[in-house]
Chain A
Amino acid sequence: DSGVTQTPKHLITATGQRVTLRCSPRSGDLSVYWYQQSLDQGLQFLIQYYNGEERAKGNILERFSAQQFPDLHSELNLSSLELGDSALYFCASSAGPGRETQYFGPGTRLLVL
């Protein structure tokens, strides 16, 4: 499958813990985006990386951080987890830094207990 992949599919953890979500973009895509989908906030943009550099930032909490590695995969780190962080986290990729079509991964469902 040459599409966007995300691991793990599901994650259950406790408050106060730290987790890492992983995303591999489509072959050839240089941009990676992270979005959070929750019942009350809907789909919200968190952060974008382009070719290893942070490109744009949304309403990402200070407890959250991300990076894009030389092989272009990206990781989203969530720390000091709270119940309200339970959500579906999507990764998307696109060829360039701007308004190119974004291709979404299947998402990681995070449940914080």
Chain B
Amino acid sequence: AQRVTQPEKLLSVFKGAPVELKCNYSYSGSPELFWYVQYSRQRLQLLLRHISRESIKGFTADLNKGETSFHLKKPFAQEEDSAMYYCALSGSSNTGKLIFGQGTTLQVKP
């Protein structure tokens, strides 16, 4: 079965500290992995996807097929990073349907 697990509901760090939001997935084929972010009262927006290998707003994520993980990292958290983060998986290439994790709220304290 396709599944995405984000083990932490809430992650609280101080400004300037490193951040790692965990994401593990279950899928037998070759999935595509995404991170979406939802800032307060705004719509979900794509943060990054593994095939683009971009770094957006200082965030990076590496797909580890051996550990079936796609953790999101940032070396120095900023207060404006406070938001809800969702990891998502797209399995079949015939459809773009996304399987989402439960989300992790990142709280960056001053």
Interface residues of A (CB under 8 A from B): 4, 31, 33, 35, 42-45, 48, 55-56, 58, 90, 92, 94, 96-107
Partner pick for B96 among A44, A100, A105, CB 8 A cutoff: A100
B residues within 8 A CB of A100?
96
Partner pick for B98 among A45, A96, A97, A105, CB 8 A cutoff: A45
Interface residues of A, dominant DSSP? strand
A residues within 8 A CB of B100?
35, 42-45
A99/B99 contact (C-beta < 8 A), A90-B44, A104-B43, A107-B43 known: no
Interface residues of B, dominant DSSP? loop
| Interface residues in B, total, Cβ within 8 A | 21
Chain A's closest residue to B99 (CB) is: A45
Interface residues of B (CB under 8 A from A): 32, 36, 43-46, 49, 86, 90, 92-103
B95 CB to nearest A CB, Å: 4
Q: Is the CB of A99 within 8 A of B96?
A: yes
Q: Is the CB of A101 within 8 A of B95?
A: no
B residues within 8 A CB of A92?
44
Q: Is the CB of B43 within 8 A of A45?
A: no
**How far apart sit A99 and B89, CA to CA, in the bound complex (Å)?**
10
A55/B43 contact (C-beta < 8 A), A42-B103, A43-B86, A99-B32 known: no
Shortest Cβ-Cβ A-B pairs, 5 listed? A56-B95, A43-B100, A104-B44, A45-B97, A104-B43
